Amino acid sequence: MALTIVEHTRVLIVGSGGNGIATAVCLQQAGITDFRILTKHDEFGGTWYQNTYPGCAVDVPSSAYQLGCSLTDQWTATHASQAELAKYLQQVATDFGLYERTHFRTELLSAEWVDDRRRWSVTTNNGIYTADVLILVTGFLEEPSVPKINGATEFGGRIFHSSLWPRGYTGQGDRVAVVGTGSSSLQIVPAMQKVASSVVVFQRTPQWILPKEYRQFTEEERRQLQEPEVLHKVRDEVRRNMEQMWSAVFVGDDPEVAAAVEAEARKHLESQVIDPELRRLITPTHRLGCKRQGISDDYYPALQAENVQLVPEAAVKINGSTIVSASGRSFEVDTIVLATGFNFGGSILSRIKRRDGVTVGDYQQGHPRAYKAVTVCGCPNLFLVGGAGPNGQSWNGLGAGEIVGGYIAKALTWMRENGIEAIEVLEAAELSWKRNADAILARGASIAGGCGANYSLDEHGYNKAAWPGTESNMRRELSVFDHTAYIAIRGVNSVACDGRTPN
Ligand code: NAP
């Protein structure tokens, strides 16, 4: 590995998904142009570049799933496919000149704050980058969660995680096992059902599924969407609906609405699945939202097709070419798809060293936190965006980038105007914000919903994923840079931004 310093920039943005793009655009629009983007991928698009399994598509309406700085009228259907989404994000990156500012195939391995130089030193596989400000936009569904299945390494056929789909593999004529029944599986199973000779689906926990109501736009609708007022109206309406569901289900603000959403999922199941025994096997016993609910029109029909079999058990073992369920049922297969999810947020905070040399992961001891999901005590000039920040997720996978990007731009502008070299959030502010977030989210389905484990929970059972409110609330909370929550460093002096002397 080369250890030369590649370059110094004012700002280093790590991540090239939708939120990385949005953050870069926000900085640009605020006149902050001395930045570099690093990404381990070889293209823009993040999750929509990485996940290419057959059937991959957004499961919330695409009219709302786009950046406000670059609305598009090009969607061909209510829910855009992975290819359409990747193309859209790459187009935005092109339009804003981001390719020239990006070093691809460059992964952050570790980063440390160099106190006497007031800068971050970032070690990558391509050398060291330094920057005054480090922004992590590394996503929350980046690091595959692969269950321990005995014998997996000796399997003679193909075995892979859903996010590492082999290029060109179609499943045509194969005997395919799909492990897991989360949102990825709900898209993979119908796609495999169409082409594979058989599909066996391992379901450890049933999950609630809402109808997607997917359809292609008519020519007339596509023409109407070219009118900016129509585009905004449709987008705002979808956003309102999604926000209402998010706040009722995940934040636990409105039990009546949450019950109505669950009733809709139950109705969907009952209308699509006739066989009472199958219904029983796939009906969840937890509250909707305890695990992120599925959204699909074609999963239940696929499950009832002749070539598909549901195994309502975990996959625990592989013997040669056979995959074995918890009760010992064996299935001979050619391919095993591990649709087994992700480690939320990944290990990024364990790669970042605080001012005192301890990693954020070690310091926070399994209870990840950041002030307003953005700044971390002990880490001057570090900003987290979206899922890189604990509690940075809202209903809209692309919303946080624009909101937090705007907050960061305001912070950097405030620093410039006040001659401040570095800011660091006060620990008291961070802890108090997180305490409040934990209390709010304790009412939501992820904790109170009765499903036991889910990927939102930290080692202590707190929700590390969700913003504790609606996206509108996130926008309000981050609409100004609240400098009184920070210590500012100017020259050799550090002062609390409200004038107090810091601890
Ligand atoms: P996931 O929701 O975490 O689901 C993982 C599944 O694997 C669960 O059903 C889990 O069961 C199961 N599992 C793990 N080990 C198993 C084993 N040994 N045997 C049987 N089952 C096993 O992961 P995902 O489906 O990849 O979805 C992750 C997130 O990606 C979603 O929540 C969503 O936010 C996002 N996503 C979005 C879209 C979209 O269209 N926008 C599409 C796909 C994914 P348990 O429930 O028992 O743990």
What are 3-23's pLDDT values in tens digits?
A: 679 999 999 999 999 999 999
Residue 154 main-chain phi, psi, to 5 deg: -95, 0
Res. 497 pLDDT band, cuts 50 70 90: low
CB 220 within 8 A of CB 227: no
For the ranges 187-196, 232-241, 389-398, the maximum mean pLDDT occurs at 187-196
Distance 90 CA to ligand 1 centre (A): 26
Instruction: DSSP letter for 145, please.
Output: -
Query: Looking up tokens 């509690």, which residue turns up?
Result: 391
pLDDT, tens only, 291-342: 999 999 999 999 999 999 999 999 999 999 999 999 999 999 999 999 999 9
> For residue 106, how far is its CA from the centre of ligand 1 (angstroms)?
28
* Residue whose CA lies nearest to ligand 1 atom number 24: 341
Indicate the pLDDT class of residue 493, thresholds 50, 70 and 90.
low
> For 85-97, b where at least 16 C-beta lie within 10 A, e where not — what string?
bbebbbebbeebe
CA of 427 to the centre of ligand 1 (A): 34
Q: How far is CA 183 from CA 50, 64, 291, in A?
A: 16, 19, 10
pLDDT of residue 72: 87
Ligand 1 pocket, mutate which of 85, 204, 290 (most atoms under 8 A from CB): 204
Q: Between the CA atoms of 183, 187, 193 and 196, what dihedral angle is there, to the nearest 10 degrees?
A: -100
- Residue bearing the CA closest to ligand 1, atom 31: 183
Question: For residue 342, how far is its CA from the centre of ligand 1 (angstroms)?
Answer: 8
Alpha-carbon distance of 378 to 368, in angstroms, equals 13
- Largest separation between any pair of C-alpha atoms in the chain: 73
Torsion angles phi and psi, residue 336, rounded to 5: -120, 120
Supply the DSSP symbol for 166: P
Between the CA of 336 and the centroid of ligand 1 the distance, in Å, is 15
CA of 340 relative to ligand 1 center, distance in Å: 5
Question: What Å distances lie between residue 73 and 234, 241, 308, CA to CA?
Answer: 11, 21, 38
Residue 490, pLDDT score: 80
Confidence of residue 64 (pLDDT cuts 50, 70, 90): confident
Report percent pLDDT > 70 for the chain.
97
The residue to mutate among 56, 316, 329, 340, having the most atoms of ligand 1 within 8 angstroms of its beta carbon, is 340
Nearest CA to ligand 1 atom 30: 183
CA distances (Å), origin 162, targets 51, 83, 337, 479? 7, 16, 6, 37
Higher pLDDT, 400 or 35: 35
> What pLDDT score does 287 carry?
94
- Residue 435 confidence class, pLDDT cut points 50, 70, 90: very high
**What residues pair up with 198 in beta bridges, in sequence order?**
175
CA angle 476, 295, 442 (to 5 degrees): 50
Residues with CB under 6 A from ligand 1: 57-59, 141, 147, 162, 179-185, 187, 202, 204-205, 291-292, 314-315, 339-342, 455
Out of 183, 298, 398, mutate this one to test ligand 1's pocket (max ligand atoms within 8 Å of CB): namely 183
Report pLDDT digits (tens) over 248-258.
998 888 899 99
Across the chain, mean pLDDT equals: 94
Q: Do 102 and 8 contact (CB within 8 A), yes or no?
A: no
Question: What is the reported pLDDT for 334?
Answer: 98
DSSP, collapsed to helix, strand or coil, labels residue 384 as strand
Angle at 463 between CA 469 and CA 377, to 5 degrees: 85
Ligand 1: centre distance to CA 250 (Å): 17
Distance of CA 183 from the midpoint of ligand 1 (Å) = 6
Supply the pTM of this predicted model: 0.95
Phi, psi of 149, rounded to the nearest 5 degrees: -120, 115
DSSP designation for 412: H
HSE at residue 205, side-chain half, CA atoms within 13 A, is 19
Of all atoms in ligand 1, which is nearest to the CA of residue 202?
Answer: 20
- pLDDT at position 319, please? 94
Backbone φ, ψ for residue 179 (5° rounding): -100, 120
Provide the pLDDT for residue 503.
Answer: 44
| The pLDDT of residue 128 is above 80 | yes
Centre of ligand 1 from the C-alpha of residue 120, in Å: 35
d(CA 318, CA 334): 12
Q: Residues 6 or more apart from 432 whose CB is under 8 A from it?
A: none
Ligand 1 centre to CA of 413 (Å) is 40
Considering only CA atoms, which residue is closest to atom 3 of ligand 1? 341
Q: Is 259 helix (H, G, I), strand (E, B) or coil?
A: helix
Q: What is the pLDDT of residue 489?
A: 87
Task: Name the residue of 48, 65, 141 to mutate for ligand 1: max ligand atoms within 8 A of Cβ.
Answer: 141
- The amino acid occupying position 376 is V
What is the residue with the minimal CA distance to atom 26 of ligand 1? 341
CB atoms under 10 Å from CB of 440, counted, come to 18
Q: Residue 501's pLDDT is what?
A: 47
Residue with tokens 């990825």: 184
Which ligand 1 atom is the nearest neighbour of the CA of 183? Answer: 25
131 within 8 A of 10, measured Cβ to Cβ: yes
Under DSSP, is residue 61 helix (H, G, I), strand (E, B) or coil?
coil
Identify the three-state secondary structure at position 467: coil
Q: How far is the CA of 271 from the centre of ligand 1 (A)?
A: 24
